[in-house]
Structure 1
């Protein structure tokens, strides 16, 4: 499995997504693609993060940027989460951790005193030509969307 590296072209991928779609990187040529990885559907932090992207969708669209959420949840789980929250963007199901490994977001985390493997909340910006141009690791939900928008506006 090849990894995505800053300043390099991201290897193409294909994953099942909401809306009965299979999406690949090639589908977004000519647009910026913002991939945000989150641990789990319907949990407080992940819900807040998704809502923040949802509430700013017009600003992202004005900056020629498509948003995709990614977690290891099933498409069926994603459909419910997307519908309940009114997300105007698709969610990718990465149950085999193909994209998670490509972007190195699976980390050991402490959960209620136990070590568990999980997704470290992270966001990646891929430019119109498919090059990884920025990454945000260990994302703090409260300020994250504003940080991403500020970065996009400076491009």
Structure 2
């Protein structure tokens, strides 16, 4: 079953950078931004991650945790995180379990070739574990600001 707005998100457990295991249940009481991106060290994904990094203090100020997810390995994630100075964890979803749960695997085209890939998407989960907003087919410019504004508004509510 995939997630839907205004419905509780089922708990998940996933391996993340810094030797962490992330569970949604452990984040109860905080808002959570889960953003899915196609691949570490690519221009769009780097720019998006840098946006979340640069606004990280603003997210923390409104009790919001940021977590990035892709199908890359933990080793690749560790290198990407260190190189970019990301203060948040990255989840390795090699099995695509989280990708399927959030329904972000889509048919994509690149240079005329079709393949199944991660559709850049972001999800805002409230402090009670309910999905409050989703962005699918994300374009990087301006996206982090929109997510931050939504997190700030949700925190006030």
The separation in 1 between residues aligned to 2:86 and 2:5, in whole angstroms, is: 28
The separation in 1 between residues aligned to 2:54 and 2:92, in whole angstroms, is: 22
Question: 1:113: how far off?
Answer: 1.2
User: Secondary structure in 2 aligned to 1:141?
Assistant: coil
Question: 1:91: how far off?
Answer: 0.1
Give the alignment of 1:94-113 within 5 angstroms. 94-113=93-112
Give the alignment of 1:4-153 within 5 angstroms. 4-153=3-152
1:49-101 deviations in whole A, cap 9, x for unaligned?
00000000010000100000000001111000000000000000000111100
Contact 2:120-2:136 within 8 A present in 1 as well: yes
Question: 1:131: how far off?
Answer: 0.5
The separation in 2 between residues aligned to 1:107 and 1:33, in whole angstroms, is: 23
Question: 1:146: how far off?
Answer: 0.9
Question: 1:151: how far off?
Answer: 1.5
Contact 2:37-2:120 within 8 A present in 1 as well: yes
Over aligned residue pairs, what C-alpha RMSD do you find? 0.7
The separation in 1 between residues aligned to 2:148 and 2:2, in whole angstroms, is: 25
TM-score by length of 2: 0.96
The separation in 1 between residues aligned to 2:79 and 2:130, in whole angstroms, is: 32
Contact 2:124-2:151 within 8 A present in 1 as well: no
The separation in 1 between residues aligned to 2:87 and 2:13, in whole angstroms, is: 20
Q: Which runs of 4+ in 1 moved over 4 A?
A: none
1:29-58 deviations in whole A, cap 9, x for unaligned?
100000000000000000000000000001
TM-score by length of 1: 0.97
